[in-house]
A and B are shown apart, each in its own frame.
Chain A
Amino acid sequence: KNQVEQSPQSLIILEGKNCTLQCNYTVSPFSNLRWYKQDTGRGPVSLTIMTFSENTKSNGRYTATLDADTKQSSLHITASQLSDSASYICVVSAGFSGGYNKLIFGAGTRLAVHP
């Protein structure tokens, strides 16, 4: 069964600190992995997209890693800011022919950054 599991479920950190969010998946065939940020009451916004051959990708203070052998990904946030408070969602695409990738969503990690 295609599944995406994220941990921790929620996390509280102090402003300026770093944190790492985890994503484990069992999706086949694997096409790509995406991290999204979802502010409360808003739609998800794309942070990174990684294909099978990519091990790391950065977007500002966000750095995602992918280990396709162990089927694990992480999202590292450096020097956190209050605006980083949001849900972070790991999404894995199951690859099908014809360009259609079924998206498997994790339940998300709720991050709260406190001053």
Chain B
Amino acid sequence: GAGVSQSPSNKVTEKGKDVELRCDPISGHTALYWYRQSLGQGLEFLIYFQGNSAPDKSGLPSDRFSAERTGGSVSTLTIQRTQQEDSAVYLCASSLVRPGQGVDTIYFGEGSWLTVV
């Protein structure tokens, strides 16, 4: 597809279970971002991947959250032992970062809606 693809689009899980959210960035995009958006709130930065560089994990709220990006493309955000406060929309975005060659548009996926009951 032409855009950022996320799956599942909706996930309801029981408290204490683990969940995996997947992001397929736009082909060729080197930068990949994960954000979280609670109902009616702004976007909260979670993690950033850029090429082969070490990811910026400074936004991950706890050690229950982890993310990886395999082969510089698909990324998976994993939440272990989910809590009710983890309920939110998890948004993935990607862009083509070309240092020194201007600013590139960041494209967002439609998000994965997570509800922890």
How many interface contacts (CB-CB < 8 Å) are there between A and B? 57
Which of A11-19, A60-68, A73-81, A96-104 forms contacts with chain B?
A96-104
With A89-B42, A105-B43 already in contact, the answer to whether A46 and B106 are too (CB < 8 A) is yes
Task: Collect the chain B residues with CB atoms within 8 Å of residue A51's CB.
Answer: 102-103
Partner of B97, one of A32, A44, A100, A103: A100
* Interface residues in A, total, Cβ within 8 A: 23
Whether B105 and A98, one on each chain, are in contact in the complex, defined by CB atoms closer than 8 angstroms, is no
The interface centre, meaning the residue of A49, A89, A99 with most chain B CB atoms within 10 A of its CB, is A99
Task: Collect the chain B residues with CB atoms within 8 Å of residue A100's CB.
Answer: 31, 48, 50, 53, 56, 97
Sorting the interface of chain B by its residue count into under 10, 10 to 19, 20 to 34 or 35 or more gives 20 to 34
Chain B stretch 1-47: residues in CB contact (< 8 A) with chain A? 4, 31, 33, 35, 41-45
Partner of B106, one of A42, A99, A103: A103
Complex CA–CA separation, A103 to B99 (angstroms): 16
* Shortest Cβ distance from residue A42 to the other chain B in the assembled complex, whole angstroms: 6
Task: Collect the chain A residues with CB atoms within 8 Å of residue B65's CB.
Answer: none
Complex CA–CA separation, A45 to B108 (angstroms): 7
Say yes or no: is A113 at the interface (Cβ < 8 Å to chain B).
no
Nearest first, the 10 A-B pairs at minimum CB distance are A99-B99, A43-B108, A107-B42, A105-B43, A99-B97, A43-B110, A44-B108, A32-B103, A105-B42, A46-B105
Q: Which residues of A contact B (CB under 8 A)?
A: 31-32, 34, 36, 42-46, 49, 51, 89, 93, 98-103, 105-108
